[in-house]
Amino acid sequence: MKTYVNPVYPYARAAELDRPGAQRPVVIVGAGPVGLAAAIDLGQRGVPVVVVDEDRTVSVGSRAICYAKRALEILDRLGCGQRVVDKGIGWNVGKVFFKGELVYRFDLLPEAGHRRPAFVNLQQYWFEQYLVERASALPCVDLRWGSKVVAVRPRADGVDVTVATPDGEYTLGCEWLIAADGSKSSVRQLLGLEWEGQAFRDRFLIADIHMTSNFPTERWFWFDPPFHPNQSALLHRQADDVWRIDFQLGWDADPEAEKKPERILPRLRAMLGDDADFEIEWASVYTFACRRMQHFRHGCVLFAGDSAHVVSPFGARGANSGIQDADNLVWKLDLVLKGQSPDALLDTYDFERTRAADENILHSTRATDFITPKSRVSRTFRDAALALARDCPFARRLVNSGRLSLPAILADSPLNTPDRDADFARGPGAMVPGAPAADAPVAGPSGSWLLDYVGGVFALLCFDAAVVRSDVVALAQDAIPCRVVEVGGARGQIPAGFMTQAPAEARPHSPHAATPAFTRIDDVDGLAARRYDARPGTVYLLRPDQHVCARWRKFDLASVRAAITRATGNS
């Protein structure tokens, strides 16, 4: 490849080869996007974590390239969002073509006032490299390259993992094992666990090319284009003038022959023209499937990302959902490790993320069925929807080139406190219990976006002077602390008796001790109040993963404490 050289990370002889090690709290198998995200989150919380990976480098090939807004917001909390955004290519607009003609365009983020775009395209190797660098900077994270898991033995109170290295094998004991080792998960296979789903009878060629071009930074999808008749094609821009092109090949294509440059070049020439100046960076032919394990928790083993569930790539729901798995899992695991929640809290990881996986599988299966119709009548309906799409807006909603990744709304989670106040907005985009917190521009002491002030620990968003000083102190001093974020109106009038800064006696017990117990931010454009359907006095309780778990029109200390008890599996 011209634009990237895979780093080779150092292998180090493990101390356990010479003497048995102490029991570890957490071992993660797999240093891909999901394992690294989990490791960074644990490391930020001060939980010692060992990550083992059989390779000594990042992804070979660009693989997962589309990182969605929610994944970027999670990365912001993990301290690597900005690097990914700076290096990557942000985009919001997609275009759909049928037989060479533009039939419609869509904008995935039509409103202003969000820190992150709908998507950033970045090659997976860059993405992983940034996460490796972030993880390596955390003293609690022990990355072990060239270390392959060859045996997994569950115990009553943990797991023993046998790791093979160039210097021989050793055993690592841990309380919790996170299997983030991808779709061919060794942990899943070593434990003899199954997953179920369907494989699709189609093949796709991915070609990454290096090309200087002034194509717009948009997602372009072609059904039956003149340059690739009867099949589909997809174009994405990545960092460093690398472009991703997907060609649908059909089930009968020969995967080995199609990978050869002499087969790829004519396809690219037909698409880009004879004058285009490009070089092939990387190419791969793949098939895909939608599958998931029935459960993501098996005793002390927790499956996350592709090891637990896989989807077809249309919609970018693979890596993005895996990062949400890690986001959902780690705060729960932290509470269980501290003895502040029963281990049954981890069953809610299974509950919430198996439902999210079902949603992702449903969307990606539908997209695949639209792109690769299974029957003549299905193909006829597809072409009819495409033919109507230019003039009839309803038909655009039927065309499915991929329903692009949106965060799961954990609406039926047992951790939510159902709305008691009936006048809250519901419906699409509403901040119902289970929804991930919406961002908004704000002014405040440590960042100009609302999401800068929540996450990591429980947070209470209070609109316009809802909470008095003594209650802020009480929440900060609880065993599972909750910080208060006061969202003021744009004019920032604070009634007498309410605070303007954190009281000195509010000292949270959390490892996020640097986080103040109280922060006041201004809703500079009024968008926070609008997005949260807030009135003066409205309060929202957000989980450490920034999902709403309760909301009220009026603050009440006992209700907030009860909601935290519920959201931590302690009720």
Q: Which residues bind other proteins (CB under 8 A)?
A: 363, 366, 369-370, 375-378, 381, 385, 387-388, 391-394, 396-398, 400, 403
- Nearer of residues 186 and 400 to other proteins, judged by Cβ: 400
Cα 285 to Cα 184, 241, 254, 260: the distances in Å are 17, 22, 9, 10
Token pair in block for residue 204? 């796709």
Quote the DSSP letter at residue 15. Answer: G
Shortest Cβ 96–other proteins spacing (Å): 14
Shortest Cβ 395–other proteins spacing (Å): 8
- Nearer of residues 38 and 367 to other proteins, judged by Cβ: 367
What would the DSSP string read from start to end of 252-281?
A: TS-HHHHTSHHHHHHHHHHHH-TT--EEEE
Number of Cβ within 10 Å of residue 403's Cβ equals 18
Cα 476 to Cα 46, 230, 404, 450: the distances in Å are 19, 62, 39, 20
Cα separation, 76 vs 84, in Å, equals 10
Shortest Cβ 378–other proteins spacing (Å): 5
- Nearer of residues 289 and 395 to other proteins, judged by Cβ: 395
Quote the DSSP letter at residue 285. Answer: E
Shortest Cβ 363–other proteins spacing (Å): 8
Cα 224 to Cα 48, 216, 372, 398, 403: the distances in Å are 52, 21, 11, 17, 19
- Nearer of residues 123 and 365 to other proteins, judged by Cβ: 365
Shortest Cβ 411–other proteins spacing (Å): 15
What would the DSSP string read from start to end of 334-377?
A: HHHHTTSS-TTHHHHHHHHHHHHHHHHHHHHHHHHHHHS-SSHH
- Nearer of residues 109 and 388 to other proteins, judged by Cβ: 388
Cα separation, 421 vs 157, in Å, equals 42
Residues 6+ apart with CB under 8 A from 496: none
Shortest Cβ 221–other proteins spacing (Å): 16
- Nearer of residues 370 and 552 to other proteins, judged by Cβ: 370
- Nearer of residues 132 and 367 to other proteins, judged by Cβ: 367
Cα separation, 547 vs 432, in Å, equals 9
- Nearer of residues 282 and 370 to other proteins, judged by Cβ: 370
Give the burial class of 19: count Cβ atoms within 10 A of its Cβ; 0-12 exposed, 13-18 middle, 19 or more buried.
Answer: exposed
Separation of first and last alpha carbons in the chain: 55
Shortest Cβ 355–other proteins spacing (Å): 17
Number of Cβ within 10 Å of residue 204's Cβ equals 27
Shortest Cβ 226–other proteins spacing (Å): 17
- Nearer of residues 146 and 402 to other proteins, judged by Cβ: 402
Cα separation, 326 vs 42, in Å, equals 10
- Nearer of residues 17 and 388 to other proteins, judged by Cβ: 388
Shortest Cβ 397–other proteins spacing (Å): 4
E strand or H helix that includes residue 324: helix 319-337
Shortest Cβ 390–other proteins spacing (Å): 9
Quote the DSSP letter at residue 151. Answer: E
